[in-house]
Chain A
């Protein structure tokens, strides 16, 4: 990865330059390809800090305890899933590098070992999800399968107050264009039916006195979904051509 600090050496164009009688005019410093990123932006940190689940980010002192125990990093072995690094990039505002992880950040499984172990009380799992939200809000990451699932789950839950598990399964499969083999569905359905567990559609469980709560929570959900996009975030670039190489 490039050095993250302002560049001291710039390309210089000289019309006329004599050095001890020798004409050395021309373009200077062009052979020094900058390895330095200059356009860091604290707006990312401000955005994450301003989010109700991101405020603990400023306690992080980069010890890496979260990543050392992270099941995605160590057990599953996805080396680029590195919560300490995601936090670091958000802290210094290095968006160009952060966006390289657009398809990685969402894969946190929320096991909360990082939150458990953080010696500084950072809610790492929530901060990482907030960084994921930043990437989506600023148009740097597409909506992930997990985001689609969260939405399907929440809509399903708010409908009756109690989750309709079979319906969630069907809805989500449709969203992803996936099809579980009919044989498997049938086998599961029969087992559920036989044991009196097929509570779906008209037979779904419903929370009592839910209608009013539903409309209040749906309104709140809609308000929070209009989470402001960071201003100009997507236009910012990093000066270094080699930027983003780790």
Chain B
């Protein structure tokens, strides 16, 4: 049994919340709308105040130990808050926090990382915090049933493509998804589908780009590739008949939106779809206005589209 699995046995009433750089930066709309959704569902999370960035998939290519110490410091801070569960909203954060967890199961590695943490003035990490994506947290704690009863304004008439991206479940050896009871399916995830349906939307089920990579890791360093993958996310949504793409990852959201001009000029206007965080759409269904859900923050302007569909 993985460490992730064993430490999930005792859930915190209020798990620690790791925002990461995106939720306090470009992904502000994700942060605000997540809080709205949690409030409507009667769920709460407590922010790790002194957090630092997780290092995503970049730092590990330069230094193994730095790439483990960065997430481990956050996990250690969560432990010193008395928590054994950490919820993050970014796929990249979930990946690197879970990867650190997997690595520190080895005593030698844990000692090495803890020595770095100690010298840097941070508490040491015992390896006992489990990591969860906010989508999984909402699904497990509230589920489609409670979401349905919180809906004030159903997303009727909207056809949505649920885009999970690459690192929500992957790899399961780090995230524990698929091997831990109550988690999503790593090859065919469906939690987002179910939550959006519970909000009254129609979800395209044959969306082949569901779990593909958006190329966000190489958003700037390999434009050709990241534009092509971002275009696929939108184009497959179009082919499946969706008018909107829902994301669960700020890297994906920002990468796709950053490439919109390039996608338009290489693949044509008809490929482009507005892209919104799933929490923005849920918050809208729970009664928030377009402005409150910060739907005009997104470069792809889902607010304009939603207004044309009668949402205010």
Q: Is A14 an interface residue (CB 8 A)?
A: no
Is A109's CB under 8 angstroms from B64's CB? no
What is the minimal beta-carbon distance from B208 to any residue of chain A, in angstroms?
10
By a CB distance below 8 angstroms, the chain B residues around A72 are 225
Is B261's CB under 8 angstroms from A212's CB? no
Given contacts A149-B220, A184-B261, contact A213 B52 (CB under 8 A): yes
Stretch at the interface among B9-17, B114-122, B131-139, B150-158: B114-122
Cα–Cα, bound, A184→B296 (Å)? 17
Given contacts A157-B59, A217-B69, contact A149 B221 (CB under 8 A): yes
A-B pairs with beta carbons under 8 A, tally: 175
Binary A-proximity of B45-79 (CB < 8 A = 1, otherwise 0) = 00001111101111111111110011001000000
Is B24's CB under 8 angstroms from A199's CB? yes
Interface of A is mostly: helix
Q: In which size bucket is the chain A interface?
A: 35 or more
What is the minimal beta-carbon distance from B268 to any residue of chain A, in angstroms?
19
Q: Is A154 an interface residue (CB 8 A)?
A: yes
Is A109's CB under 8 angstroms from B229's CB? yes
What is the minimal beta-carbon distance from A76 to any residue of chain B, in angstroms?
6
With both beta carbons as reference points, the residue of chain B lying nearest to A146 in the complex is identified as: B221
Q: In which size bucket is the chain B interface?
A: 35 or more
Q: Which of B267-312 contact A (CB under 8 A)?
A: 294, 296-297, 299
Binary B-proximity of A194-232 (CB < 8 A = 1, otherwise 0) = 011101000001011110111111001100110000000
Q: B121 touches which one: A126, A146, A192, A213 (CB < 8 A)? A: A213
Q: Is B145 an interface residue (CB 8 A)?
A: no
Q: Which of B193-218 contact A (CB under 8 A)?
A: 212-213, 215-218
What is the minimal beta-carbon distance from B42 to any residue of chain A, in angstroms?
28
Q: Which of A162, A199, A217, A224: most chain B CB closer than 10 A?
A: A217
Cα–Cα, bound, A109→B296 (Å)? 30
With both beta carbons as reference points, the residue of chain A lying nearest to B74 in the complex is identified as: A207
Given contacts A115-B173, A188-B299, A197-B297, contact A165 B221 (CB under 8 A): no
Is A224's CB under 8 angstroms from B62's CB? yes
Is B52's CB under 8 angstroms from A116's CB? no
Q: Is B142 an interface residue (CB 8 A)?
A: no
Q: B229 touches which one: A75, A148, A184, A197 (CB < 8 A)? A: A75
Given contacts A109-B222, A112-B171, A217-B120, contact A53 B52 (CB under 8 A): no
Binary B-proximity of A19-55 (CB < 8 A = 1, otherwise 0) = 0000000000000000000000000000000001100
Q: B21 touches which one: A162, A169, A173, A215 (CB < 8 A)? A: A162
Q: Is A121 an interface residue (CB 8 A)?
A: yes
Cα–Cα, bound, A75→B290 (Å)? 35
By a CB distance below 8 angstroms, the chain B residues around A188 are 299
Is B225's CB under 8 angstroms from A107's CB? yes
What is the minimal beta-carbon distance from B56 to any residue of chain A, in angstroms?
8
By a CB distance below 8 angstroms, the chain A residues around B299 are 188, 191
Cα–Cα, bound, A95→B49 (Å)? 48
By a CB distance below 8 angstroms, the chain A residues around B186 are 116
What is the minimal beta-carbon distance from B300 to any residue of chain A, in angstroms?
11
Binary B-proximity of A164-206 (CB < 8 A = 1, otherwise 0) = 0100010011001000000010001001100111010000010
With both beta carbons as reference points, the residue of chain A lying nearest to B297 in the complex is identified as: A195
What is the minimal beta-carbon distance from A135 to any residue of chain B, in angstroms?
13
Q: Which of A52, A116, A151: most chain B CB closer than 10 A?
A: A116
What is the minimal beta-carbon distance from A151 to any residue of chain B, in angstroms?
7
What is the minimal beta-carbon distance from B51 to any residue of chain A, in angstroms?
7
Binary A-proximity of B148-191 (CB < 8 A = 1, otherwise 0) = 00000000000000000011011111000000000000100000
Is A195's CB under 8 angstroms from B52's CB? no
By a CB distance below 8 angstroms, the chain B residues around A209 are 50, 121-122
Given contacts A146-B221, A150-B61, A224-B62, contact A212 B120 (CB under 8 A): yes
Is B53's CB under 8 angstroms from A157's CB? yes
Q: Is B43 an interface residue (CB 8 A)?
A: no
Q: Is B25 an interface residue (CB 8 A)?
A: yes
Chain B interface residues (CB < 8 Å from chain A)? 21, 24-26, 28-29, 49-53, 55-66, 69-70, 73, 95, 116, 119-122, 166-167, 169-173, 186, 212-213, 215-218, 220-222, 225-226, 228-229, 232, 261, 294, 296-297, 299
| Extra 14 A-B pairs, beta carbons < 8 Å, given A146-B222, A224-B66 | A53-B64, A75-B229, A109-B218, A111-B213, A113-B166, A116-B171, A145-B222, A146-B221, A162-B51, A162-B53, A163-B21, A165-B26, A169-B220, A213-B120
- CB pairs A–B below 8 angstroms (22 shown): A76-B228, A111-B166, A111-B170, A112-B95, A112-B166, A116-B171, A146-B61, A149-B58, A150-B61, A151-B62, A153-B56, A154-B58, A157-B59, A162-B21, A163-B53, A191-B297, A207-B51, A209-B121, A213-B120, A216-B119, A217-B116, A224-B63
